[in-house]
Amino acid sequence: MLHYGIDQFSYEQMMQIINGEETATLNETAREQITNSFNNVQKIVESDRTVYGINTGFGPLCDVKISESETAQLQYNLIISHAVGVGKSIHKDLSKIMMIAKVHALSKGFSGVSMEIIERLIFMIEIDYLDKLKSDK
């Protein structure tokens, strides 16, 4: 069993996760790292501190403080501004490898994301494998 945010994952191990031959999970250490990071961001949002990217604009607007009530919209706008889709779709396995790498990185506890985001990504990684098991019966 591999642990997100703790172990090092090889390409081969990620393919084993995708194919249901290996399991990856969040252990208690990773869960604590994620929760502590999320709580730190929440404290910043609730305080008067100004922290780039959490309650400020980006780039040239880095000195513009965003109100607590507008921080959720700021984060949403950031995601939308980076969303793009051009060209052919990527192979499903590559998409899953990218999600595994993202879960692994977020589970190190440096991003401030909520546990729910990470759990949803893990669900999305695992759902095809679960569907495949059902169809094989």
pLDDT of residue 26: 96
pLDDT of residue 85: 74
pLDDT of residue 99: 94
pLDDT of residue 53: 80
**Residue (of 35, 42, 39, 30) closest to 105 by Cα position:** 30
For residue range 23-69, list pLDDT tens digits in order.
999 999 999 999 999 999 999 888 888 888 888 888 888 888 888 78
Q: Between these two residues, 76 and 1, which has the higher pLDDT value?
A: 1
- The two tokens of residue 4 are 């997100």
pLDDT of residue 136: 60
Query: Is the CB of residue 39 less than 8 Å from the CB of residue 114?
Result: no
Residues annotated catalytic, as ranges = 52
pTM of the predicted model as reported, rounded to 2 decimal places: 0.79
User: Cα–Cα distance between 9 and 26 in angstroms, integer?
Assistant: 14
pLDDT of residue 70: 85
In a 13 Å sphere around the CA of 8, the CA atoms on its Cβ side amount to 1
- Residue 130: pLDDT above 70? no
**Residue (of 12, 14, 31) closest to 23 by Cα position:** 14
DSSP letters along the chain, please? -EETTTS---HHHHHHHHTTSS-EE--HHHHHHHHHHHHHHHHHHHSS---TTTSB-SGGGTT-BPPGGGHHHHHHHHHHHH----SSPPPHHHHHHHHHHHHHHHTTS-S---HHHHHHHHHHHHHHHHHHHHHH-
